[in-house]
Structure 1
Amino acid sequence: MTDMNNPDNGGHGEWPQQQRPQYPRQPQYPQQPQAPQGYPQHAQYPPRQPGQQQPPYGYPVDDAAATTVLPPVPAFDDADATTLLPPVPPLGDAETTALLPPVVPGAVPGAPPAAPRHRQPVQPPFQQPAQQPVQPVGHPQGYPQAPLPEGQPEGRPRARARHAAPAPQPAEVFDPPTMTLKRPPAPGPAGPVGAPPVPPFAAVPAQPAPPAPPAAPRGRTGSPIIEPGLQPALITAGAAALLAGGAALGQVALALVVALLQLLTAAGWFRLNGMWPARQGILLAALAGFTADAAVLLADSDGGVAAVVGTLGGFFLLVLVLQTFRPSDPKERFYALTVLGSATVVTALCTTLLVADWVPAGVGAVALATVLAAAPLPGPKQLGPVLGLVAAVALGLLVGAPVALGALAGLGALVGRRVAAYDWPSRFVHMTAGVALPLAVAAPLIWMATDLLA
């Protein structure tokens, strides 16, 4: 048995030695230093009296003994806790909205016009009940009343010093004829009801309207054919005279004049088809004509036609290869191939004047038909071309040329002039294609009339 008077027993009661539970020993904390003079002493646990038993580990302790270290917490009264807060007076609807500007009924300046309403059956007029003033709510019990100025009764809410409550607005009236609501005029800031309202916004000066964009150019109307006129026809007659003089001087002189005609033809053809500047195409077409001229001069008397055909075929193949591998849009590539190929053919066929007979008579018929077709003759428009064709045939018969020479030469001149007048051509087109195409188109026809049909 254990001795109950032994202080080492710990007050655990009678436990057999072999059944006594072993508890871990609590660590010993160092003694706290004493507070300096002038500071309050911390509360200490009361010392255990001799013979006082300590509660076993795990048992609840006394609440009073456990909280002796904490300072006492004084109870707070709700009234004392809210004494520092200012009293909150109750506010009615009139005081709540006193700081807001008055709402002027009617259309807002700058707002878009209202959509038209559908026609509805006529209804009797009605009136909107006027707004009832909101009665103030008193303070709840337990709160102090706010101090009121002298001369003001207690039952009314305190009014603002600088803002007054808005007056009740007049009722809206329904207008049966127009099926709309007529709003009464809003009271002005210092005028009676019915006076014109003061606009809430400052008047903005009207700004001038922006200038209207320029109208798009109107599309051209009428016939796209514009005749080259008399001046290009006279220049064509001058070029025909040069060709006749070159033919009289020999093949070399004629080849030089034909080269000038080929250069003018290539430039006019590209500009007529809307491709400008197209220096590479113009130079390639002119180079084909120059090569054909050189091939005819170097060939014998029987190989001139073969030289022209061979040169034309080789350059046409070159044009086809260049345009096929051109890095561009397929539609644009096809258009460029068409223009360049036709320009090469028309320019190279001018070389047939070097292998044709009766060149002076043929170019003379071209000049006569072109000038008469462009001359301002009285009568219908078709009178000039008809007279030109008749004059070309008569010229061929007078000089003793084949019968078909004057007719084919005059027909080629009229066709070339018509082509140069198509699709609203410009002045540049008239002075290039309008001058060269009558001779360029008539050149292979002159060769056919003197060699194939003779």
Structure 2
Amino acid sequence: MTDMNDPNQGGGYGNWPQQPHQPHPHLQQPPRHAAQHPYGYPVDDEAATTLLPPVPAFDDAAATTLLPPVPPLDDAAATTLLPPVRVSGAMPVAPPQHLGQPPVQQPPVHPQQPQRQQQAQPQQPSRARHAAPAPRSAPQQAAPAAGMPPSGVTAAGMPDTGAGFDPPTMTLKRPDAPAAPPYGSFPAQPTPLAAPSAAPGGRTGSPIIDPGLQPALITAGAAALLAGGAALGQVALALVVALLQLLTAAGWFRLNGMWPARQGILLAALAGLSADVAVLLADSDGDAAAVVGALGGFFLLVLVLQTFRPSDPKERFYALTVLGSATVVTALCTTLLLAGWVPAGVGAVALATLLAAAPLPGPKQLGPVLGLVAAVLLGFLVGAPMALGALAGLGALIGRRVAAYDFPSRFVHMTAGVALPLAVAAPLIWMATDLLAG
């Protein structure tokens, strides 16, 4: 039995019996070195390919006998009908040529094609090559400088594909650089943007709009009701003060841009009513403490409600500010129940408000000044304390000014413009008749 793994007994892949082989006359293979099999077996290409048919030599000339000859590429003839290329800017730089090498010759032109370019003389490489004449319909092009490639050919010797050119005009697109200003002149300054309007809706001018004479007349009517209620008794005065507090809360929220705010208005009005009830139930020595207690309790309630309110933090802070100030202003109207000389105090408020809103001739400040002077004179005439007329008139002018701020609407003038002169003057009347007079 023959061992196939023993090379001495005729085994293995490389010790098969040799057969005579005649090399093909067309194939002349160079001598090869015996390749080693990965597993140590010798490889014999001749023995392995003995039974394969011979491969004839590939003849390009015979295979392409029936094909027409390929003429050389002539860019000038192929682009005869194309418009000339106009390149703005600097010409492309010619590739550097090594020393001792002759200039590159143009490829020969086929005999059947019209010759449109003149070949450069190799004996004079420094002379410029002239460009071929353009067609009759196109303008003449300037000849490129010495060593530069002709038009339509890149620096690498390849024809330009026209990338970056506009098809109708074949003009190179270049960004227009801004012209430099002449020497000694300053560049043009950019036009400033228009300033935004001072108020929404395109309003311009002062945001202070005077409430006018009609709210002042209503304020005078409310002052007359307060004077009548004070003459009838403290309970009747408390009912009129409650109406004033409800009007003050509504006007304050609308003045601060929060509408509708029914919960806030009711909460502020409830604070004022609670203060009125506390004063009516308290004795003469604890009436001021009743007002302070009611005000403090409702202010704490407002703080807790707005802190745990599920809303945006910025909106929450704004709502807390408006609701807290409305609670304070509304509850301070209760001080009219503690003050003396209430008819004289509210009369001074009505007089100052009417004169400030009256259309008097002269400067604009004439009406408020006359109103303050009339309020002081009224206090003297009725025998009230010295500071009563001055403080009541000053409170009326301050409340009217606050109601005129930030382009207020007619509704603001009919609520805040009516109630704020009396609401701001109420604690001042109490101070003038109780604290300062004592």
| TM-score bracket for the superposition, by shorter chain length | 0.5 to 0.7
Query: What's the CA shift for 1:241?
Result: 1.6
Q: Is the 8 A contact 2:398 2:421 kept in 1?
A: yes
Cα pair distance change 1:82/1:158, threshold 3 Å: farther
Listed one character per residue, the Cα deviations across residues 273-294 of structure 1 (whole Å, up to 9, x for unaligned) are: 3444443332221111111112
Q: 1-side partners of 2:15 and 2:364: how far apart? A: 136
Q: 1-side partners of 2:222 and 2:387: how far apart? A: 22
Give the SS at the match of 1:369.
helix
Q: Is the 8 A contact 2:399 2:420 kept in 1?
A: yes
Q: 1-side partners of 2:377 and 2:246: how far apart? A: 31
Listed one character per residue, the Cα deviations across residues 48-68 of structure 1 (whole Å, up to 9, x for unaligned) are: xxxxxxxx9545321049888
Give the SS at the match of 1:63.
coil
Cα pair distance change 1:314/1:172, threshold 3 Å: same
Counterpart position of 2:113: 157
Query: What's the CA shift for 1:166?
Result: 5.2
Q: Is the 8 A contact 1:136 1:156 kept in 2?
A: no
Listed one character per residue, the Cα deviations across residues 148-183 of structure 1 (whole Å, up to 9, x for unaligned) are: xxxxxxx33289xxxxx952841459xxxxxxxxxx
Q: Cα RMSD between the aligned structures?
A: 3.8
Q: 2-side partners of 1:448 and 1:68: how far apart? A: 131
Q: 1-side partners of 2:377 and 2:59: how far apart? A: 138
Query: What's the CA shift for 1:322?
Result: 3.1
> Is residue 61 from structure 1 mapped to residue 19 from structure 2 by the alignment?
yes
Query: What's the CA shift for 1:72?
Result: 6.4
Cα pair distance change 1:74/1:345, threshold 3 Å: closer
> Is residue 360 from structure 1 mapped to residue 343 from structure 2 by the alignment?
yes
- Residue among 210, 219, 226 paired with 2:209: 226
Query: What's the CA shift for 1:394?
Result: 3.0
Query: What's the CA shift for 1:331?
Result: 5.2
Counterpart position of 1:211: none
- Residue among 216, 229, 243 paired with 1:260: 243
Q: 2-side partners of 1:387 and 1:68: how far apart? A: 134
Counterpart position of 2:161: none
Listed one character per residue, the Cα deviations across residues 231-275 of structure 1 (whole Å, up to 9, x for unaligned) are: 111111111122222223333332222122112212222333344
Q: Is the 8 A contact 2:134 2:140 kept in 1?
A: no
- Note the residue ranges of structure 2 that are not aligned, 5 or more in a row: 1-7, 24-46, 90-105, 116-132, 144-166, 170-193
Q: 2-side partners of 1:169 and 1:379: how far apart? A: 83
- When the two structures are superposed, what TM-score results if normalisation uses the length of structure 2? 0.63
Query: What's the CA shift for 1:433?
Result: 1.4
Q: 1-side partners of 2:394 and 2:272: how far apart? A: 23
Q: 1-side partners of 2:368 and 2:249: how far apart? A: 25
- Residue among 170, 195, 198 paired with 2:140: 170
- When the two structures are superposed, what TM-score results if normalisation uses the length of structure 1? 0.61
Q: 1-side partners of 2:325 and 2:364: how far apart? A: 30
Q: 2-side partners of 1:68 and 1:403: how far apart? A: 140
Q: Is the 8 A contact 1:91 1:157 kept in 2?
A: no
Counterpart position of 1:103: 84
Query: What's the CA shift for 1:306?
Result: 2.1
Amino acid at match of 1:228: P
Cα pair distance change 1:137/1:379, threshold 3 Å: closer
Q: 2-side partners of 1:412 and 1:74: how far apart? A: 122
Q: Is the 8 A contact 1:136 1:157 kept in 2?
A: no
Query: What's the CA shift for 1:370?
Result: 0.6
- Residue among 66, 71, 90 paired with 2:72: 90
Larger Rg computed on CA atoms: 1
> Is residue 378 from structure 1 mapped to residue 356 from structure 2 by the alignment?
no
Q: Is the 8 A contact 2:198 2:205 kept in 1?
A: no
Query: Mapping of 1:257-406 within 5 angstroms?
Result: 257-327=240-310, 332-406=315-389
Query: What's the CA shift for 1:310?
Result: 0.9
Amino acid at match of 2:251: G
Counterpart position of 1:238: 221
Q: Is the 8 A contact 1:366 1:439 kept in 2?
A: yes
Cα pair distance change 1:79/1:222, threshold 3 Å: closer
Identity %: 80
Cα pair distance change 1:22/1:359, threshold 3 Å: same
Amino acid at match of 2:84: V
Segment of structure 1 superposing worse, 430-439 or 265-274 = 265-274
Q: 2-side partners of 1:103 and 1:390: how far apart? A: 94
Amino acid at match of 1:374: A
Q: Is the 8 A contact 1:247 1:253 kept in 2?
A: yes
Cα pair distance change 1:94/1:269, threshold 3 Å: same
Amino acid at match of 2:69: P
Amino acid at match of 1:137: V
Query: What's the CA shift for 1:378?
Result: 1.7
Give the SS at the match of 2:275.
helix
Query: What's the CA shift for 1:88?
Result: 1.5
Question: Number of residue pairs matched?
Answer: 322
Query: What's the CA shift for 1:372?
Result: 0.9
Give the SS at the match of 1:87.
coil
Query: What's the CA shift for 1:445?
Result: 1.8
Query: Mapping of 1:61-140 within 5 angstroms?
Result: 61-64=19-22, 77-98=59-80, 101-103=82-84, 105=86, 137-138=109-110
Counterpart position of 1:426: 409
Counterpart position of 1:143: none
Cα pair distance change 1:404/1:137, threshold 3 Å: closer
Give the SS at the match of 2:266.
helix
Query: What's the CA shift for 1:351?
Result: 0.9
Segment of structure 1 superposing worse, 392-401 or 67-76 = 67-76
Q: 1-side partners of 2:414 and 2:225: how far apart? A: 17
Q: 1-side partners of 2:392 and 2:349: how far apart? A: 6
Cα pair distance change 1:382/1:60, threshold 3 Å: same
Q: 1-side partners of 2:58 and 2:357: how far apart? A: 122
Q: 2-side partners of 1:63 and 1:269: how far apart? A: 119
Q: Is the 8 A contact 1:372 1:388 kept in 2?
A: yes
Q: Is the 8 A contact 1:91 1:136 kept in 2?
A: no
Give the SS at the match of 1:156.
coil
Q: 1-side partners of 2:284 and 2:59: how far apart? A: 138
Q: 2-side partners of 1:297 and 1:78: how far apart? A: 126
Query: What's the CA shift for 1:352?
Result: 1.4
